[in-house]
Structure 1
Amino acid sequence: MIQIAFARHAKSDWADDGLDDHDRPLNDRGRRDAPEVAKRLLRSGVRPEVVLTSTALRARTTAQVFAEVFDAELREDPELYGADPDVLLAAARASGVDEVMVVAHDPGMSEVVSELAGDDVRMTTAAVAVFTWESATWDEIGATPPDSFELTTP
């Protein structure tokens, strides 16, 4: 089984307009939503071995919450900041595990999820799209439709 969870970072704080985009933290809602969504995913059976994250503060903070709830290894990848769908999927493939979560940003996140779902999916902040292939290999991911797809939102 291969399972990929694509997570858009939780809601970020725009209060300091002088702050570099990479350094924006989560706001109060984001700090509430991330653990709530992570716990719901855990109860549904999602348990990634590795959580890959963009190096942007809001993504790293979201990913840390997920990694803690899932008791998963956390890995930062600067290529995930502003990544397009191909980079997001390649990062999951290169993780070396069959159950992985990727935490990154839109528009790439909505694009990769829409491509894999075969439908237009808008990834709101803290949304997680989980794709499962029961008998596919990593070489088939992206070319073979998933056996299941679930979208969890705050």
Structure 2
Amino acid sequence: MRRLILMRHAKSDWNHPGLGDHERPLNRRGTAAAKALGDWLRDNGYIPEEVLCSSAERTGQTLLGLALDGGTPVKFSRALYLAEAGDMLNVLRQATGNVVLMIGHNPGICEMAHRLVGDPPEHIRFEDYPTGATLVVDFDTDWPDVTTGDVTAFVIPRELKDGSA
């Protein structure tokens, strides 16, 4: 079995007009949301063995806020920055861990989530995949052969204690 934790970065800060999109950091709500998502991952036993993360500042700060075990291998990839679903899937197919956390951006991450699940979760926010949205999906195949899997969980930060986004 393979498990993917597909996470959109937490809420970013638009109050830095001199920064390019790639350098935009999280805002206070985003920092709180990342912490809440990390607590949720640990509380539910969703511990990644590998992290594939966009190279953008806000995705890196989201990952840092999750406070995962420092021994988890992390690959920051420019290929995941504003990537389309097909490009994200190509990166995922190179994964080596059984449980992979992928952190990216909309609209590609939303498209990826919809592509990977045959039976979507009954959650009103799954359609637009807001900041911090996190899908956990299980597959009965190896990463190179992944097509569709079974949803285990879907959450948005607003549903978590201290995770308003």
Pair in the same fold by TM > 0.5: yes
SS at structure 2 position matched to 1:94: coil
Task: Say whether residues 1:26 and 2:26 are aligned partners.
Answer: yes
SS at structure 1 position matched to 2:101: strand
- Per the alignment, residue 3 of structure 2 pairs with 3
Counterparts of 2:21 and 2:95 in 1: how far apart (Å)? 26
> Quick one: percent identity of the two aligned structures?
31
Q: What are the within-5 Å matches in structure 2 for residues 1-154 of structure 1?
A: 1-66=1-66, 68-71=67-70, 72-118=72-118, 119=120, 121-133=127-139, 135-142=140-147, 145-154=148-157
The amino acid across from 1:107 in the alignment is P
Structure 2 regions of 5+ residues with no counterpart? 121-125, 158-165
SS at structure 2 position matched to 1:97: coil
> Does the C-alpha gap of structure 1 residues 23 and 139 become closer, same or farther in structure 2, counting only changes over 3 Å?
closer
Structure 1 regions of 5+ residues with no counterpart? none
SS at structure 2 position matched to 1:102: strand
Counterparts of 1:108 and 1:94 in 2: how far apart (Å)? 18
The amino acid across from 2:17 in the alignment is D
Moved over 3 A (4+): none
CA contact (8 A) 1:13 1:24 kept: yes
Counterparts of 1:126 and 1:117 in 2: how far apart (Å)? 19
Q: More deviation in 39-48 or 105-114? A: 39-48
CA contact (8 A) 1:113 1:121 kept: no
The amino acid across from 1:130 in the alignment is V
TM-score norm. by structure 2 comes to: 0.83
> Does the C-alpha gap of structure 1 residues 28 and 87 become closer, same or farther in structure 2, counting only changes over 3 Å?
same
Structure with more of its chain in helix, by fraction: 1
Deviation at 1:116, TM superposition (A): 1.4
RMSD of equivalent CA atoms: 1.6
Counterparts of 1:149 and 1:140 in 2: how far apart (Å)? 19
